[in-house]
Each structure stands twice: as C-alpha cells, then as structure tokens.
C-alpha cells in the first residue's frame, strides 16, 4: 500500500515539475508575443487555443461535463485565473521585464498558503512556512539580478500583484472542485469560462492577428497549448494529490527557470545573484516536499485537507 502511495506522490511531483517548466517558458513567450498583441487580445488568443485543445481531449476521453458540485470552483478559477490573471500578467509584462514579473507574481504562493490555511483548513505546517521563507528569499534575489535591464514601473508591479492575488484566490477555490471533478474537467471548464470572459477583446485579437508576424502568432499558439492546456491540467492533477500550500510554493522555482530560459533564448548570461537565487528557490521547494510523517493515501489526504467553503 505504501508503495502505491509513493508512486502517486511521484506522479504528483512530476506533474508539478512539468507545470513549473511550462509556466516559466510562458513569461518568455508573453514578452515575445506582447510586441504585436495587446494584453487582452493575447489572453483571448491563448485561452481560445487552450480551450479548443482541452475540449477535443475531453471529448476523446469521454469524460463529459463536471459534476454540479465542482462548478462554483470552476467559475471562480475561470474568471480570476484564466481571465483576470492572464490579462493583468500580459499587461504587467509590458512594463517590467520577465524576471521581475516572475518575482512579483511569486507573492502568490504566500497568499495561497495563508488563504488555504484559513479557508481549506490546511493549517500552517512548520516545513511549509520554512520552505516559503527560503524560496521567497530566492525569488527576491533572482528578481534583483534581473531587474536592472527593465523598467520596474509602478503600474507593472501593481498589475503583477493583481495577477498574484487573482491566482491565489482562484487556487483556493479550485481545490475543492477537484473533489467533484477530474483535473481535465476542472481545467477545461476554467479555460472555457476564461475564454468567454475575454470575448470583449475579440475585435482586437482579429485585427492584431492579421498584422502580426508568424513568430508572434505561433507564440500565442504555444502559450495556449503548452503553458495553458497542458500545464494547467498537470497543475490540477498535482493539486488534487497534495495541499494548495505545497503546490503554490513549488512555483518559486519559476523565476530561476525564467533566468535560465532567457539565457538560452535571448543570450542573457545570468549573474552570480541569479544562480544563488535559483538555488535558494529550489531549496525552498525541496523543504516543502520533505515529510516527517508516514505517507497517507492521496484520497484520504484530499478528504482530510479539503473543507469546502460554505
């Protein structure tokens, strides 16, 4: 039995790792596509692509619509995370560089940990709090190392903080929904809701897509298929098998990966601070993933850790 539990935990860790890598790549591709697409149009193009891919997969798998008990969480996460978050992040990255945006966004895991401790009754485990402190320090160091090349405009920072708040609330709302529906159902529903919420930007999307170079259009498609359709599904899968607090803190590895990807794609060599910050981020994640107690069944963990808000 313990072997089965550990196998499930390994799958959750792998799913979380896929999410982190793809979300890190999104910061680079948003910067690239943002040259030719406005924030709302970019969000709609990304969500529309992701929604089409997810609906096709959902039909092929024959999973159908989520149970009624999941819809409140799907609606909240769809509007806030797939809608507000993406527009705010796209807009914010037009005023701050990718590394700074990734660092500011990573106030989100702290908000997730606090909200999930209060609302989902996950508590405030010492390992989680210690991991948050270490990883957040690493995120700050990474942001410092990468902020010199971009404008740390107040508007950009405010927009990224708005995105972080929307993300945190959405995750806490999404967690109970995963008790009633699969990761694919929750992700598909949220993506479709987000697409509907962004439809007012349809005119901008069509006009800007007609003028945009192929590289920018392909960036939008990539953002929809991989950091959205795939990464949000692997996130939901992992979230259904662990606490919201632990899942949130895994994203502290994102700023370090953004620096590495910018180095590879944009020939920006990371400095000593970036390397040090990246190591701190990964150390913080490792602390939160360590455990002192005997593992329990993933199904039992969901039952014990989730208290659906009334």
Averaged pLDDT, groups of 10, the chain, 310 residues long? 47 86 90 92 97 95 92 95 95 78 73 72 71 74 57 69 88 88 94 97 97 96 96 87 66 75 68 68 66 46 38
295 in a structural domain: no
Residues 101 and 88: their CA atoms lie apart, in Å, by 11
Residues 275 and 182: their CA atoms lie apart, in Å, by 37
The 10 Å Cβ neighbour count of residue 75 is 16
300 in a structural domain: no
Residues 61 and 142: their CA atoms lie apart, in Å, by 41
Residues 155 and 91: their CA atoms lie apart, in Å, by 9
Residue 264 neighbours by CB under 8 Å, 6+ apart? none
303 in a structural domain: no
Half-sphere exposure of 216 (CA within 13 A, CB side): 18
307 in a structural domain: no
25 in a structural domain: yes
pLDDT of 296: 41
pLDDT of 211: 96
Cα–Cα distances in angstroms (integers) from residue 253 to residues 17, 75, 177, 275, in the given order:
9, 28, 26, 12
| Domain carrying residue 115 | 12-290
Is 129 in contact with 184 (CB distance < 8 Å)? no
308 in a structural domain: no
Is 109 in contact with 252 (CB distance < 8 Å)? yes
Cα–Cα distances in angstroms (integers) from residue 290 to residues 119, 123, 127, 227, in the given order:
24, 17, 8, 27
6 in a structural domain: no
Tally of domains within the chain: 1
Q: Which two tokens stand for residue 168?
A: 């945190």
122 in a structural domain: yes
């Amino acid at each position: 039995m313990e072997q089965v539990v550990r196998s499930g935990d390994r799958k959750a860790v792998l799913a979380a790792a896929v999410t982190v890598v793809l979300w890190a790549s999104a910061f680079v591709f948003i910067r690239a596509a943002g040259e030719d697409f406005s924030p709302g149009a970019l969000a709609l193009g990304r969500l529309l692509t992701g929604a089409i891919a997810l609906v096709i997969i959902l039909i092929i798998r024959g999973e159908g619509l989520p149970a009624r008990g999941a819809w409140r969480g799907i609606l909240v996460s769809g509007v806030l995370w797939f809608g507000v978050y993406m527009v705010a992040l796209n807009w914010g990255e037009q005023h701050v560089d990718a590394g700074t945006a990734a660092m500011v966004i990573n106030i989100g895991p702290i908000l997730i940990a606090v909200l999930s401790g209060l609302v989902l009754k996950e508590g405030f485990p010492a390992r989680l709090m210690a991991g948050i402190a270490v990883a957040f320090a690493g995120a700050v160091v990474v942001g410092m190392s990468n902020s010199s090349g971009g404008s740390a405009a107040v508007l950009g920072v405010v927009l990224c903080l708005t995105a972080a708040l929307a993300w945190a609330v959405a995750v806490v709302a999404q967690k109970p929904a995963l008790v009633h529906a699969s990761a694919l159902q929750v992700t598909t529903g949220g993506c479709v809701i987000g697409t509907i919420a962004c439809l007012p930007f349809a005119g901008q999307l069509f006009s800007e897509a007609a003028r945009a170079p192929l590289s920018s259009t392909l960036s939008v498609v990539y953002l929809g298929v991989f950091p959205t359709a795939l990464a949000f599904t692997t996130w939901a899968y992992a979230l259904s098998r662990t606490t919201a607090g632990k899942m949130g803190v895994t994203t502290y590895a994102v700023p370090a990966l953004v620096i590495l990807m910018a180095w590879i794609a944009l020939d920006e060599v990371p400095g000593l601070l970036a390397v040090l910050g990246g190591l701190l981020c990964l150390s913080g994640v490792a602390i939160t993933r360590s455990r002192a107690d005997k593992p329990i069944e993933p199904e039992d963990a969901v039952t014990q850790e989730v208290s659906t808000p009334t």
